[in-house]
C-alpha cells in the first residue's frame, strides 16, 4: 500500500484526502532530523510545510520516496538537486497561500505606519500614550515592490486600492503585465531612490540573497520603511539593525528570519520593528487550500502518474495521464530497447513524434524514453532525474513533431547516436493501445515486446530460422513469438524473438556461433 508521511503541522484535510484516496498516512510532526532519517525509508511520499528540512542526508535515506509535497510556496527547505538526482519529484502549491501572504504584508505595512503592536501593548498596560504613537498615512506614498510575481502583484493591487503609487522591480515582469497591474516597472536603484515603503516578494536565490544590505540601504530614501514577508536571507539583519538605530530606516516589519525558528534575533526589541513568527501563510483559508492541494497533487502523482506544480519534472494533467499511459509504455520500451543494444558512449538522442503523438504533451514521453535508455547503463535513473543525467553526461537531446506519420496514425521514432553509429527504432499504438515496434534500423517489422526477448542481427540466408529454432528447442527454450525483417533478400536482417524464459549464457554463445549471425542480445522488458 502507498504510504505518506506528513511531518509538519498541516490542516487535517490533507490526511483526510490521502485516506479517501486509499493512501496510508502517518502524521508525525516535530521530529528531529535523526528521527526523520530513521523512518523516511518507509514512505512513498513526504508532505511538509516549512519546519521540515529535506536535506541531502534525509533524501539519501528515503529509499522508497517518490514525491515531496510542499504545502506552500517556498521550497528552500528542500534540497531539490539531491531530490532530482534521487528521482524524487518535488512539488509545491504556488497559489494556495498567495492572497493570505499578501494580506499579511499589507497588515504589516499598516502595523508599522500606526505602531499598532506597541500601541496595543502600551494601552493594555494602562499607559494611554497618545502622543508617543504618532503615525504616517499610506495615502499618496510610494510602495516599492521587489519581486512582482503571485504575491507581489496581489500586494501591488491592494496598495493601489489604498491609493498608493506602486513601483516594481522584477527582471521577469513584462511591460504589458506591469501596465495591467497598474504598476510602474523600474530598475532597482530607481526603486530604492523613490520608495517610502519597500516590500520584498522574491524567492531566495543567489541573485536575491542579502539584497537588503548596507550598500543598498544607503541608496534608499531617509525614513524608508521595509517589509519582509518573503525569506529572512534576503536581508542582512545586522545592516538593517544599524539603519534602524541610525534612523535611516524608520521602521521594519519582519515575518521571516535568517534562522528559524527565531528564538532570538538582532532585530528583536528595537522600538521601530514589528515582528511575527513566519505567519505569512497562517490563515485558516490558506492552510486548508494548501493542504487540499498538496494532498491531491501527491495522491495524483502516486496513484495516477499526473504531475502538477512540480519543480523538477514536466507537468501532466489528470486528463492527460490516462491518454499518455499507453504512450508512456511505448516510449519506455523504445528507450529501453535502444539502451540495451547500445554498446558505446551515447552522444545524441533524437525523438520524433509523428501523427497523433505529435499532439501529446511530449516532455514526459521524452523523459521516460531517457529513463528507458539510460536505465540499462546506470542505476537509479527515473523520469525525474533522466533529463538531468543526460545533460550532465553531455548527451544532446532533441525532440521534433510532425503531423504526418507516413503509414501510421501515430508513431514515435527514437534515433540514438553513439560514438560509433546511429540506430533508430520506431513504435506505434493500434486500437488496442498495446505498443508495437514497427521498425528497427529502418527495417520494417511488427513486434510486441515481452518480458524476455532475443534480438539477433544476421545475414538473410536460407536455413537460419530453422537452425535458430532447433538450437532454442534443444536448449528447452520455448518460443512465444518470432518476428523477422530484412532490408533486401540476402541482405541485413533482424530477428526479434519472444522466449518464455531467459537464456543461459552457454545457449547464447551457441546462438552467436550460428552461421551468418552478427549480433545477439538478450533483452528484458
Ligand X SMILES: NC(=O)C1=CN([C@@H]2O[C@H](COP(=O)(O)OP(=O)(O)OC[C@H]3O[C@@H](n4cnc5c(N)ncnc54)[C@H](O)[C@@H]3O)[C@@H](O)[C@H]2O)C=CC1
**Nearer of residues 45 and 94 to ligand X, judged by Cβ:** 94
| Cα gap 346→85, rounded to integer Å | 19
Contact 70, 94 (CB under 8 A): no
Phi-psi region of 381 (alpha: psi -120 to 50; beta: other; left: phi over 0): beta
CB 134 to ligand X: min, Å: 29
Decide: is 468 part of the binding site for ligand X (CB under 6 A): no
The answer to whether 231 is a known catalytic residue is yes
Decide: is 50 part of the binding site for ligand AKG (CB under 6 A): yes
Decide: is 273 part of the binding site for ligand AKG (CB under 6 A): no
| Cα gap 298→79, rounded to integer Å | 18
Identify the active-site residue in 16, 24, 57, 260: 260
**Nearer of residues 74 and 326 to ligand X, judged by Cβ:** 74
Identify the active-site residue in 70, 225, 231, 413: 231
Pick the binder of ligand AKG from 37, 53, 74, 116 (CB under 6 A). 74
Give the per-residue contact string, 83-122, with ligand AKG (x = CB under 6 A; - = no): --------------x-------------------------
Decide: is 281 part of the binding site for ligand AKG (CB under 6 A): yes
SS (H, E, C) 1-20: CCEEEECCCCCHHHHHHHHH
CB 512 to ligand X: min, Å: 57
Name the one residue in this structure whose C-alpha cell is 524473438: 497
Give the per-residue contact string, 161-180, with ligand X (x = CB under 6 A; - = no): --------xxxx--------
Decide: is 221 part of the binding site for ligand X (CB under 6 A): no
| Cβ-proximal residues to 218 (8 Å cutoff; 6+ apart), any chain | 248
Pick the binder of ligand X from 202, 336, 410, 458 (CB under 6 A). 202
Instruction: Tell me how many degrees the CA angle 81-310-368 measures, rounded to the nearest 5.
Output: 80
Q: Which does 431 bind (CB under 5 to 8 A by kind): ligand AKG, ligand X, none?
A: none
**Nearer of residues 51 and 467 to ligand AKG, judged by Cβ:** 51
Identify the active-site residue in 21, 70, 225, 278: 278
Q: What is the dihedral of CA 282, 285, 290, 295, to 10 degrees?
A: 130
Interface with ligand AKG (CB under 6 A), residue total 10
| Cβ-proximal residues to 136 (8 Å cutoff; 6+ apart), any chain | 113
Contact 201, 152 (CB under 8 A): yes
**Nearer of residues 147 and 339 to ligand X, judged by Cβ:** 147
| Cβ-proximal residues to 401 (8 Å cutoff; 6+ apart), any chain | 352, 353, 354, 357, 358, 362
Least Cα distance to 77 among 256, 235, 275, 240 occurs for: 256
Decide: is 73 part of the binding site for ligand X (CB under 6 A): yes
Find the helix packing angle between 284-299 and 98-114, rounded to 10°: 150
In DSSP terms, which residues pair with 290 in a beta bridge?
A: none
SS3 438: strand
Decide: is 87 part of the binding site for ligand X (CB under 6 A): no
SS3 132: helix
Decide: is 77 part of the binding site for ligand AKG (CB under 6 A): no
Decide: is 149 part of the binding site for ligand AKG (CB under 6 A): no
**Nearer of residues 108 and 494 to ligand AKG, judged by Cβ:** 108
Q: Which does 49 bind (CB under 5 to 8 A by kind): ligand X, ligand AKG, none?
A: ligand AKG
**Nearer of residues 147 and 485 to ligand X, judged by Cβ:** 147
The answer to whether 278 is a known catalytic residue is yes
Strand pairing report for 396-402 and 346-355: parallel
Please give the residue ranges that form the binding site for ligand AKG (CB under 6 A): 49-50, 72-74, 97, 278, 280-282
Just list the catalytic residues. Answer: 231, 260, 278
Amino acid at each position: 500500500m502507498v504510504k505518506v508521511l506528513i511531518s509538519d503541522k498541516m490542516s487535517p484535510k490533507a490526511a483526510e484526502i490521502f485516506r479517501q484516496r486509499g493512501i496510508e498516512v502517518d502524521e508525525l510532526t516535530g521530529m528531529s532530523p535523526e528521527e526523520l532519517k530513521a523512518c523516511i525509508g518507509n514512505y512513498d511520499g513526504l508532505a511538509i510545510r516549512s519546519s521540515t528540512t529535506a536535506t541531502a542526508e534525509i533524501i539519501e535515506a528515503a529509499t522508497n520516496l517518490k514525491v515531496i509535497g510542499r504545502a506552500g510556496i517556498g521550497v528552500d527547505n528542500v534540497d531539490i538537486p539531491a531530490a532530482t538526482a534521487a528521482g524524487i519529484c518535488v512539488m509545491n502549491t504556488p497559489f494556495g497561500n498567495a492572497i493570505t501572504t499578501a494580506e499579511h504584508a499589507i497588515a504589516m505595512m499598516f502595523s508599522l505606519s500606526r505602531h499598532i503592536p506597541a500601541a496595543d501593548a502600551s494601552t493594555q498596560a494602562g499607559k494611554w500614550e497618545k502622543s508617543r504613537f504618532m503615525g504616517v498615512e499610506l495615502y499618496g506614498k510610494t510602495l516599492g515592490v521587489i519581486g512582482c510575481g503571485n504575491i507581489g502583484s496581489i500586494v501591488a493591487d491592494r496598495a493601489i486600492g489604498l491609493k498608493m503609487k506602486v513601483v516594481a522591480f522584477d527582471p521577469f515582469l513584462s511591460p504589458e503585465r506591469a501596465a495591467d497591474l497598474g504598476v510602474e516597472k523600474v530598475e532597482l536603484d530607481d526603486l530604492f531612490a523613490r520608495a517610502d515603503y519597500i516590500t520584498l516578494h522574491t524567492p531566495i536565490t543567489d541573485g536575491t540573497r542579502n539584497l537588503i544590505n548596507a550598500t543598498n540601504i544607503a541608496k534608499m530614501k531617509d525614513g524608508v520603511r521595509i517589509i519582509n514577508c518573503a525569506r529572512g536571507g534576503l536581508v542582512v539583519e545586522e545592516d538593517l539593525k544599524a539603519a534602524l538605530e541610525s534612523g535611516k530606516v524608520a521602521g521594519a516589519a519582519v515575518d521571516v528570519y535568517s534562522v528559524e525558528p527565531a528564538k532570538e534575533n538582532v532585530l528583536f526589541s528595537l522600538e521601530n520593528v514589528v515582528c511575527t513568527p513566519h505567519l505569512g501563510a497562517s490563515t485558516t483559508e490558506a492552510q486548508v487550500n494548501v493542504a487540499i492541494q498538496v494532498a491531491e497533487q501527491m495522491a495524483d502523482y502516486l496513484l495516477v502518474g499526473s504531475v502538477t506544480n512540480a519543480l523538477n519534472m514536466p507537468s501532466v494533467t489528470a486528463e492527460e495521464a490516462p491518454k499518455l499511459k499507453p504512450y508512456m509504455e511505448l516510449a519506455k520500451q523504445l528507450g529501453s530497447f535502444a539502451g540495451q543494444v547500445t554498446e558505446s558512449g551515447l552522444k545524441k538522442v533524437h525523438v520524433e513524434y509523428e501523427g497523433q503523438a505529435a499532439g501529446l504533451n511530449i516532455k514526459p514521453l521524452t523523459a521516460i524514453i531517457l529513463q528507458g535508455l539510460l536505465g540499462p547503463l546506470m542505476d537509479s535513473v527515473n523520469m525525474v532525474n533522466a533529463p538531468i543525467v543526460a545533460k550532465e553526461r553531455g548527451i544532446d537531446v532533441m525532440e521534433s513533431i510532425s503531423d504526418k506519420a507516413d503509414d501510421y496514425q501515430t508513431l514515435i521514432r527514437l534515433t540514438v547516436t553513439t560514438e560509433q553509429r546511429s540506430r533508430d527504432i520506431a513504435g506505434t499504438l493500434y486500437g488496442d493501445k498495446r505498443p508495437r515496434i514497427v521498425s528497427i534500423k529502418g527495417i520494417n517489422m511488427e513486434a510486441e515486446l515481452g518480458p524476455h526477448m532475443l534480438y539477433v542481427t544476421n545475414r538473410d540466408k536460407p536455413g537460419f530460422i530453422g537452425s535458430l529454432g532447433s538450437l532454442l528447442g534443444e536448449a528447452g527454450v520455448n518460443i512465444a513469438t518470432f518476428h523477422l525483417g530484412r532490408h533486401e533478400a540476402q541482405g541485413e536482417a533482424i530477428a526479434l524473438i519472444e522466449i518464455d524464459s531467459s537464456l543461459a549464457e552457454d545457449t547464447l554463445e551457441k546462438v552467436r556461433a550460428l552461421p551468418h549471425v552478427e549480433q545477439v542480445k538478450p533483452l528484458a522488458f
